[in-house]
Structure 1
């Protein structure tokens, strides 16, 4: 173990002499944590920094930026920060908002008139504001993978691609993380500022902060790391989506960005943003969104309780990983960057383990429940068959679905042959029982199921303590006579993703006995069973919000004698 520790501890560039005892202990435990994780998690290279009282008290590189050539990972190693780019995009929009050049409360199409996606009943693109896109509550689908590398496409292609998709939910109803949405925001920045997105970020954020070792793939930056996964070195995948995940930075520059935001929040003079604007960005924005998984500000995720808050964003691009956690009221921050897919979990755990030091918990990330008061189980409600029957049907999750039927005075829920009995506490609240042994019912302690109507959708939500889990909404049975002829195996052809497990093999469509249309999506590394919600005769929605392959438009069409399926821009045919 001593040899491993000596091997992985390579360079420390910013240790501060005579640190206070608390800081010294923090630095030691941080070094020990990463030394152990480098070995146990097979991480090739990683760098990390801690900022306290607005100053960098520690930053260090571990392992290799380039294992094959024995080049050390240091604070000067450049890494793709992935989706943390979204915080730069949001900051750019707020600069323009601050200058009166745009209003984030106005519709997206005000600034991007060519934004014309397909819209279903009760869903209008006119209601999608810039703020809705910034908070991932717009209903715009998650991603579009057609021409997703920088050689094949560019971020200005995205409006045209989005126009070929359906809006999936009414704006403000569902939190659905959308890279496509942030690339539309990059187009807004270009249209309003009259500068290319990358040029704008350089001139108005990177250059004023002297982040001279940061930029985009087009900038030919020096000291870029290689990327690794499963013990192998992979070719770098340059993203087309530069406004949602295209920025590269080294740790030294990254700390400049973090300390600037901390100073700006405290009202200290800076050339980037006003304190009042940053306070708005760091204010909870999505409290009224009924189907949501995380608290969010503008461009940031939030940990928030009654006493304090933190803002956070993670990034992942081509197996590189980055994490940025800011404690604005405490004038502190944590940064971790790694060139290894397996390093992402260690990086996140390191950030989250520091939350209690600043008065927060991981649970402070989750929204307050929308299901209301949890009733006592001592008195079951007596409901008529008609009251029970309104909940009957199939509810789609990300990789399965649950079918609910009436069973005497109760509801019977079946998912993948697992049976749960739901006993009513009210017309819309039920307590679950699992079947054990010879039909013995065992109550699932602390759990409830709620049926809630939201904007015309009949949702099933599981409640466990203060956490809620969306099980999806009630699906309409498919028209078997129409969809049966489309079932079968479709092989991928045409444009292919260029990296890792996301390379696609096939799509197989089938209809279950419950009349649910299913899509068996095979990639090079996984098989995914995805329920589809039919939108119209030629379009469906892959169900399951913010999980796996949920939240995409699936399009069906014919070309001469071929039947085609388009899944998020990837084409399959049979």
Structure 2
């Protein structure tokens, strides 16, 4: 910034001096964080959380100016044998593996061996999922899978452990499911999609996925204590939840969650990416390629809940950004937060299910130090101008009626009907009046008691058509929440014959509260087909969107058990339900 000092008055000079003072204060506020204080508060934070959250073992590191300024282990890697958790303790990093898979794809993209903008089918000819009208597998690009916008369902649990399955089985399992949405329409986190990408890496590179990662990422970064379950790594941590030790669960899905690392190696990965981003000499990726990976890729996706790069979630505002990924596998948890422009990073690993929240909070609490907020993770609203509640408009009954129906969320649904000049929304016994501000925008008034109405002045509800789906979206400030799309009527006669309780049998998940017990099919008074899915640790009320006489989708995106193909069949006189590869019968 330059200033012209000609013809400056005394008053102008005073203003200029005041401006200099403000600039100095602002610059001081932006100086690098006080490292000693940061280390002290970090150690205190984890010492307290180890006790309050009943965490058995945890390790963490902070990188500032490209250097590890602090790393430390807390608690036990093996509580029963009193083996301490240290930076040398190996932990499954879970879904952070996806960043390695994305990096491998971008290496192959650099080399011209694939093009991430080309269809997945070009590199995985065996990809042949079931399709519905208006949804085409040929429109699913590698980039769509990398950004979780492909419409491929989130998981398939059949043979999901390494003993009974392998990642090369996943294309065949996906072919038994329906694509959920047209590519590029909905952000739906998909482990299954990333396992397809692992198969792409195998097909294109002519190397097994695990071998490719070892040779082209782990070895160049000298991550000699990292690898996969089949590598028999030393110093592996035990895993814990609810105060108990659990058997290690080795994932079939090695391309979406199979990498193990210790904290020392994990810092090598983080610093390696920071160096590559800055254009420093490295053997893993070009700076321009990493800049592409760390740029916003999903701004045009209409139904989305997070900003994303290629293989990463993004916190991004007008000034700066960070990339983030979390991992969870068999109760182990890991978090990685990079600030590429600031040359900084934060890493947390824990062997305890209850440690995940403390790890995430630690990372997110550091966002303001680098000019970011949690809200920078969320996409800009797509619903446009918010109208003032003082201008209620009158609509015809026909205009109101087009919004009537049931809209399914992941664990509930809302039924909307016409009530005189307004719409009435009923969900879980709560009634909300929606007063029209335009044909598609409504102000909510919540009924309290018999006749009291409370205006929710900070909220709006929007109805919008997206590629043939009629969506209901809640707007609160600059945040939007997808309430699902309008469900089609069901054939009561057909589904009435299938209602009832189905018990799980056959292949079972092998760990903790993910084990399944039963699924109960029922029809509500609003004529919504529902299933009550019970695991060892939860009960989930899930609306179903019927595809045909033998298939439905579990509704809701990016949450719990939403976004799965549910298949109905009969065998030897028994009625069967398949939910994401888990079978139930009655």
TM-score in terms of structure 2 length: 0.94
Alignment partner for residue 40 of structure 1, among 43, 52, 56?
Answer: 52
Is 1:95 equivalent to 2:122 in the alignment? no
CA contact (8 A) 1:314 1:324 kept: yes
The equivalent residue for 1:151 is 163
Shift of 1:21: 8.0
Mapping of residues 217-232 of structure 1, within 5 Å:
217-232=229-244
CA contact (8 A) 1:265 1:275 kept: yes
Shift of 1:255: 0.2
Q: For 2:450 and 2:182, locate their aligned partners in 1 and report how far apart those are by CA, in whole Å.
A: 46
Mapping of residues 527-542 of structure 1, within 5 Å:
527-542=539-554
Alignment partner for residue 420 of structure 1, among 419, 432, 452?
Answer: 432
The equivalent residue for 2:74 is 62
Q: For 1:440 and 1:59, locate their aligned partners in 2 and report how far apart those are by CA, in whole Å.
A: 56
Mapping of residues 167-316 of structure 1, within 5 Å:
167-316=179-328
Report SS of the residue matched to 2:486.
strand
- TM-superposition CA deviations, 1:515-557 (whole Å, max 9, x none): 1100000111111100000011111000010111001000011
Q: For 2:336 and 2:241, locate their aligned partners in 1 and report how far apart those are by CA, in whole Å.
A: 22
CA contact (8 A) 1:162 1:180 kept: yes
Is 1:470 equivalent to 2:482 in the alignment? yes
CA contact (8 A) 1:534 1:541 kept: yes
Is 1:560 equivalent to 2:566 in the alignment? no
Mapping of residues 495-510 of structure 1, within 5 Å:
495-510=507-522
Report SS of the residue matched to 1:296.
coil
Q: For 1:115 and 1:539, locate their aligned partners in 2 and report how far apart those are by CA, in whole Å.
A: 20
CA contact (8 A) 1:521 1:529 kept: yes
Shift of 1:417: 1.0
Shift of 1:445: 2.4
Measured at CA, do residues 494 and 385 of structure 1 come closer, stay the same or move farther in structure 2, by a change above 3 Å?
same
CA contact (8 A) 2:33 2:369 kept: no
Shift of 1:437: 3.1
Mapping of residues 445-484 of structure 1, within 5 Å:
445-484=457-496
Shift of 1:438: 3.2
Report SS of the residue matched to 1:433.
strand
Q: For 1:299 and 1:513, locate their aligned partners in 2 and report how far apart those are by CA, in whole Å.
A: 42
Q: For 1:204 and 1:301, locate their aligned partners in 2 and report how far apart those are by CA, in whole Å.
A: 23
Report SS of the residue matched to 1:486.
coil
Measured at CA, do residues 504 and 322 of structure 1 come closer, stay the same or move farther in structure 2, by a change above 3 Å?
same
CA RMSD of aligned residues (A): 0.7
Report SS of the residue matched to 1:74.
coil
Alignment partner for residue 134 of structure 2, among 103, 113, 122?
Answer: 122
Q: For 1:440 and 1:508, locate their aligned partners in 2 and report how far apart those are by CA, in whole Å.
A: 37
CA contact (8 A) 1:43 1:340 kept: yes
**Which structure 2 residue ranges, 5 or more long, are not aligned?**
1-31
Q: For 2:584 and 2:454, locate their aligned partners in 1 and report how far apart those are by CA, in whole Å.
A: 45
- TM-superposition CA deviations, 1:225-283 (whole Å, max 9, x none): 00000000000000000000000000000000000000000000000000000000000
TM-score in terms of structure 1 length: 0.96
Q: Which moved more, 1:552-561 or 1:125-134?
A: 552-561
CA contact (8 A) 1:477 1:514 kept: no
Q: For 2:440 and 2:277, locate their aligned partners in 1 and report how far apart those are by CA, in whole Å.
A: 44
In the TM superposition, structure 1's runs of 4+ consecutive aligned residues that sit over 2 Å from their partners are: none
- TM-superposition CA deviations, 1:459-486 (whole Å, max 9, x none): 0000000000000000012110111111
Q: For 2:211 and 2:152, locate their aligned partners in 1 and report how far apart those are by CA, in whole Å.
A: 26
Is 1:544 equivalent to 2:556 in the alignment? yes
Shift of 1:355: 0.3
Q: For 2:219 and 2:283, locate their aligned partners in 1 and report how far apart those are by CA, in whole Å.
A: 10
Q: For 2:367 and 2:33, locate their aligned partners in 1 and report how far apart those are by CA, in whole Å.
A: 19
CA contact (8 A) 2:447 2:454 kept: yes
CA contact (8 A) 1:81 1:337 kept: yes
Q: For 1:56 and 1:536, locate their aligned partners in 2 and report how far apart those are by CA, in whole Å.
A: 56
Q: For 2:91 and 2:452, locate their aligned partners in 1 and report how far apart those are by CA, in whole Å.
A: 55
